[in-house]
Amino acid sequence: MTLAASLALVACGSSDETGADVAATTPTTTLVAPAAEESVQTDAAGQRFPDVIDVEATQDGATWTFAVTVSSPYDTPERYADGWRIVSPDGTELGFRLLTHDHASEQPFTRSLDGVAIPDDVDVVTVEGRDQANGFGGETFELTLAR
């Protein structure tokens, strides 16, 4: 009887912020989000994503070459910055550079991408880094193109 009373108290006593019984509601994104957040990989300092810390762009005829400097201090062969992309103000991806290995011994590091076509009406681009495990995120770099 004590077990049944305890179970009844637990079922009735559990409530979310609105005062409704948790057992009577279906889980929401808000309730699930903390568990999903815990699965995101971070380094010892809490960094999840690589940061783009510098970008240089030079025009070569109809295309551009981008030299992008990325910082990813958690860099390991199991999880590393595996790419970066150039995005227009409307969100269109204009170029992507795949990084096929970690750069653990070279932090920060710079890699280039040439042959990037930038529409004439685009004067500002944003460069975003990508983490092998977590995707795009971190500090981005906005660059005004010198035409």
Question: pLDDT (tens digit, 9 = 90+) per residue, 110-129?
Answer: 999 999 999 999 999 999 99
Instruction: Enter the tokens of residue 21.
Output: 């019984």
- What is the reported pTM? 0.69
Residue 98 pLDDT: 97
| Closest to 125 in 3D by CA, of 50, 52, 49 | 52
| pLDDT one-digit tens code per residue, 34-45 | 233 444 566 556
In a 13 Å sphere around the CA of 117, the CA atoms on its Cβ side amount to 2
- pLDDT for residue 31 is more than 50: no
Domain definitions of the chain by residue range: 2-38, 51-144
Looking at CATH, the fold of the domain delimited by 51-144 is given as Immunoglobulin-like (2.60.40)
> Which H or E run contains 11?
helix 2-13
